[in-house]
C-alpha cells in the first residue's frame, strides 16, 4: 500500500504517549508499505528531528507552522476569540492551515495513495476544508475520544468561569468529532470502549474497530537492581491537561494519606514541560521530585517500588502503563487511567478511584513487597505474550485494507 500519513508535527522526540504509539506503528508499516509523512513543522523544529523521520517514512512533506506560546497574552486572546467567535474547538482550530489543505489536495490529485490516515482528530480540520472531498480513501486513527476528555474536564472543573469555558469546548469538540469521523471511510480507535462510544453514543456507522496498545518489549526490560522502598513514580507529559489534573489531585488528596502511613515515602514526577502548577508540588513538599524532561524513563521505572496513574480525565489508553508493566513494576491506577486496557484488578494491576482506597492500595505494596513482585510479574508476562508492536500493527494493517475496500 501507499499511505499518506497526516500528523500535527514530527514524531521526534517520541516523548508523549501519542507520539510513541504513532512512531512504533508507522515504523512497522514502513517495512512493508510506502509511507508519505505530511505534517506541520513548528517553528524551531530541530533539523535532526526532521531527518529522523526517515526512520518511519519514505517521503516527508513539511508545512511551516507557528504555535502561539502558551500562557502568553496572545494565547489567552486566541482562547477568548475562539470561545465566543468560532464553532471549532480551540484544540482543533489552532491547526487549521490553508497550506496544509493545499498540500493534501496536491497529494490526493496524484492518485498515488491508497489511503490517507489522519493521525488523531486534529488533521481532519484540513482534510475536508472548504468542501474538499478526497478521491483517496480516508481513515481517522482516534487515539482518544476527544470530546470525552473535554466532557470529563468539564465534569471535574471548579468555578463558574472554568465550567463555562470547558462546557463550550466540550460541545464544540463533540460536534466536530462526530462530523469529521462521519465524513471519512473508516475510523479506528485504541480500545473497544472507545469504539462503543463512537458507535452507540455518536451514532457512527464506519467504526472499523480497535487497535490494542503495544509496547517495545525489547527496549523495556525488568531491572537488575533493587527497587527503592516506599518510592512512587508518575510518568507523563506534564503540559497535558489530564496529567496535570491527575497528579495535582493525587498530591492534594492521596499523598497526605500515603505519607501518614509511610513518612519516608517519595514521589517522582517524570515528564516533559512541567507547568508552574506541577513544579509547585515539589516546592511545597520535599518528598515530591519533579524531573522535567528526561532522556530515558527506564532508570526511574527501575528504581521505584510502584507506578501511579491517578487520572480523572482522559480517553483512549495509556501506553505508559504497558511500558511500566514491561519492566515488571506494579501499577496502581484509577479506572479511567487504565480504561481500555486488558488488565484485572488484583491480578495485573491495582485499581482505586477514591483517595483513601488509592492510599490503601499503595500501602499494601509498601507493606508486602512480594505482592508487588507477583503483580508486576503477571503484568510483564501479559504484555510480552500479546502486545508487541509487530502483533499490534498487524491488526491496524487489516483496518487499512478494510478502509481501501469500503
pLDDT tens sequence across 133-185: 899 999 999 999 999 999 999 998 989 999 999 999 999 999 999 999 999 99
Query: Is residue 316 situated within a structural domain?
Result: yes
23: helix, strand or coil: helix
Q: Do 367 and 256 share a domain, yes or no?
A: yes
Pair 382, 393 in one domain? no
Q: What is the pLDDT of residue 130?
A: 66
pLDDT at position 316: 58
Task: Looking at the structure, tell me whether residues 242 and 257 fall in a common domain.
Answer: yes
DSSP character at residue 160: H
For 380, the domain range is: 231-386
Mean pLDDT of 387-398: 89
User: Would you place residue 217 in the very low, low, confident or very high pLDDT band (cuts 50, 70, 90)?
Assistant: confident
220 in a structural domain: no
Q: DSSP of 263-328, one letter per residue?
A: TT-EEEEE-SS--HHHHHHHHH-TTEEEEES-S-SHHHHHH-SEEEE--SS--S--HHHHHHHHTT
In terms of Cα–Cα distance, which of 322, 356, 359, 358 is closest to 338?
322
CATH number at residue 374: 3.40.50.2000
Backbone angles phi, psi at 123, to 5 degrees: -60, -20
Q: Is the peptide bond before 336 cis (omega within 30 degrees of 0)?
A: no
Task: Kindly state whether residues 190 and 304 are assigned to the same domain.
Answer: no
Report the pLDDT value the prediction gives residue 406, as an integer from 0 to 100: 67
pTM of the model: 0.80
Asked if residue 152 and residue 86 are part of one domain, the reply reads yes
- Same domain membership, residue 306 and residue 202: no
- Total domains in the chain come to 2
194 and 166 within one domain: yes
Amino acid at each position: 500500500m501507499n499511505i499518506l500519513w497526516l500528523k500535527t508535527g514530527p514524531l521526534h522526540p517520541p516523548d508523549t504517549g501519542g507520539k510513541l504509539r504513532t512512531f512504533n506503528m508507522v515504523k512497522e508499516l514502513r517495512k512493508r508499505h510506502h509511507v508519505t509523512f505530511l505534517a506541520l513543522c513548528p517553528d524551531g523544529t530541530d533539523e535532526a528531528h526532521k531527518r529522523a523521520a526517515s526512520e518511519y517514512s519514505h517521503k516527508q512533506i513539511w508545512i511551516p507552522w507557528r504555535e502561539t506560546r502558551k500562557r502568553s497574552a496572545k494565547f489567552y486572546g486566541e482562547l477568548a476569540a475562539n470561545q465566543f467567535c468560532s464553532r471549532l474547538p480551540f484544540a482543533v482550530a489552532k491547526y487549521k492551515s490553508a497550506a496544509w489543505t493545499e498540500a493534501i489536495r496536491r497529494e490526493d490529485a496524484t492518485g498515488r495513495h491508497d489511503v490517507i490516515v489522519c493521525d488523531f482528530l486534529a488533521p481532519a480540520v484540513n482534510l475536508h476544508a472548504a468542501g474538499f472531498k478526497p478521491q483517496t480513501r480516508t481513515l481517522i486513527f482516534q487515539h482518544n475520544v476527544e470530546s470525552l476528555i473535554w466532557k470529563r474536564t468539564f465534569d471535574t472543573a471548579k468555578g463558574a468561569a472554568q465550567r463555562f469555558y470547558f462546557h463550550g469546548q466540550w460541545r464544540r469538540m463533540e460536534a466536530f468529532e462526530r462530523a469529521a469521523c462521519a465524513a471519512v471511510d473508516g475510523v479506528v480507535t485504541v480500545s473497544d470502549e472507545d469504539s462503543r462510544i463512537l458507535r452507540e453514543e455518536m451514532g457512527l456507522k464506519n467504526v472499523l474497530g480497535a487497535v490494542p496498545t503495544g509496547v517495545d518489549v525489547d527496549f523495556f526490560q525488568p531491572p537488575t537492581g533493587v527497587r527503592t522502598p516506599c518510592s512512587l513514580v508518575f510518568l507523563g507529559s506534564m503540559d497535558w491537561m489530564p496529567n496535570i489534573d491527575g497528579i495535582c489531585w493525587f498530591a492534594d488528596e492521596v499523598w497526605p494519606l500515603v505519607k501518614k502511613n509511610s513518612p519516608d515515602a517519595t514521589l517522582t514526577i517524570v515528564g516533559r514541560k512541567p507547568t508552574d502548577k506541577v513544579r509547585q508540588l515539589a516546592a511545597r513538599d520535599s518528598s515530591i521530585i519533579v524531573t522535567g524532561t528526561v532522556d530515558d524513563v527506564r532508570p526511574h521505572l527501575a528504581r521505584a517500588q510502584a507506578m501511579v496513574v491517578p487520572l480523572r480525565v482522559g480517553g483512549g489508553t495509556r501506553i505508559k502503563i504497558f511500558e511500566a508493566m514491561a519492566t515488571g513494576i506494579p501499577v496502581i491506577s484509577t479506572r479511567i487511567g487504565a480504561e481500555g486496557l486488558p488488565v484485572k484488578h488484583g491480578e495485573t494491576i491495582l485499581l482505586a478511584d477514591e483517595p483513601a482506597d488509592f492510599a490503601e492500595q499503595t500501602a499494601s505494596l509498601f507493606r508486602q513487597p512480594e505482592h508487588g513482585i507477583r503483580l508486576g510479574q503477571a503484568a510483564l508476562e501479559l504484555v510480552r505474550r500479546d502486545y508487541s508492536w509487530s502483533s499490534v500493527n498487524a491488526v491496524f494493517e487489516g483496518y487499512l485494507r478494510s478502509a481501501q475496500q469500503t
